Chains A and B, each alone.
Chain A
């Protein structure tokens, strides 16, 4: 049973436009959500996170929105740049355990 779902395997956007990556979860015990970015031949790197007590967190061009009632979060990248082209993983954790559950990832391609 997949607890963190990224239903779009890929997304293509034009440079300068907004990229919106979506993530849904099923476990209501999740209380912290993180986004990681992964380039080919490298390990994932942390991008941004949000606690369940918030509905928005912003860091430069990256903003994560959390809708707890819908069990949905999204990552917005504005403006998108070609260097943002990577696989983006959504991840979630629950305070009650120490596991981190990842989604399958979304490949973002930003075209110049």
Chain B
């Protein structure tokens, strides 16, 4: 089954404790992206990757890191999480970037930073 998987689905952590949210897709997609969803703010893009070893900032990259060492995986790293990073996070992938390429989203990771 074609899908985007994220782990963990739920995470509660404390300020400053490094964490990684994994994302994997099995569709051989070139493009992958991370979003956060906050009440009243909709979906905002954090980082995206055009291909292996090619990443770029989205609209809200501060406090996050990403890496794309393999085509299928695109982990999101919070080196020192803060309470304002409490949010619902979605990973997405698509065959190409922009234009007509629909993005396939993972089920989401709800992160709480206390």
Q: Are the C-beta atoms of A45 and B105 separated by less than 8 Å? A: yes
Determine whether A49 belongs to the interface, using a CB cutoff of 8 Å to chain B. yes
CB-nearest residue of chain A relative to B9? A41
* B68 interface residue (CB < 8 Å to A): no
For the side of the interface on B, what is the size category? 20 to 34
- Whether the Cβ atoms of A34 and B105 lie closer than 8 Å is no
Complex interface: chain B residues within 8 A of A6 (CB): 42
Chain B residues, Cβ within 8 Å of A100 = 33, 45, 98, 103
Question: Chain B residues with Cβ under 8 A from A51's Cβ?
Answer: 99-100
For the complex formed, measure the closest distance between the CB of A47 and the CB atoms of chain B, giving whole angstroms.
9
Q: Is the CB of B100 within 8 A of A43?
A: no
Contact indicator A102/B43 (Cβ below 8 Å):
yes
- Distance of A110 from chain B, by nearest CB (Å): 21
Against A, the Cβ 8 Å flags (1 = close, 0 = not) of B31-60 are: 101010000111111001010000010110
Determine whether A89 belongs to the interface, using a CB cutoff of 8 Å to chain B: yes
Query: Closest A-chain residue to B57, C-beta based?
Result: A99
Q: How many residues of A contact B (CB 8 A)?
A: 27
- Given A99-B59, A103-B42, A104-B42: A43 touches B98 (CB 8 Å cut-off): no
Chain B's nearest CB lies how many Å from the CB of A86? 13
Q: Does A97 contact B (CB under 8 A)?
A: yes
**Cα–Cα, bound, A96→B91 (Å):** 22
A94 touches B43 (CB 8 A): no
Q: Which B residues lie within 8 Å of A102 (CB)?
A: 35, 42-45
Q: Which residues A16-44 have CB closer than 8 A to chain B?
A: 31-32, 34, 36, 41-44
Contact A44 B40 (CB under 8 A): no
Encode A78-99 as 1/0 by CB contact (under 8 A) with B.
0000000000010101110111
Q: Can you list 22 residue pairs at the A/B interface with Cβ under 8 Å?
A: A31-B99, A34-B102, A41-B108, A42-B107, A43-B4, A43-B90, A43-B106, A43-B108, A44-B90, A45-B105, A46-B102, A46-B104, A49-B100, A49-B102, A93-B99, A94-B98, A98-B31, A98-B56, A99-B45, A102-B43, A102-B44, A105-B42
Interface residues of B (CB under 8 A from A): 4, 31, 33, 35, 40-45, 48, 50, 56, 58-59, 90, 92, 97-100, 102-108
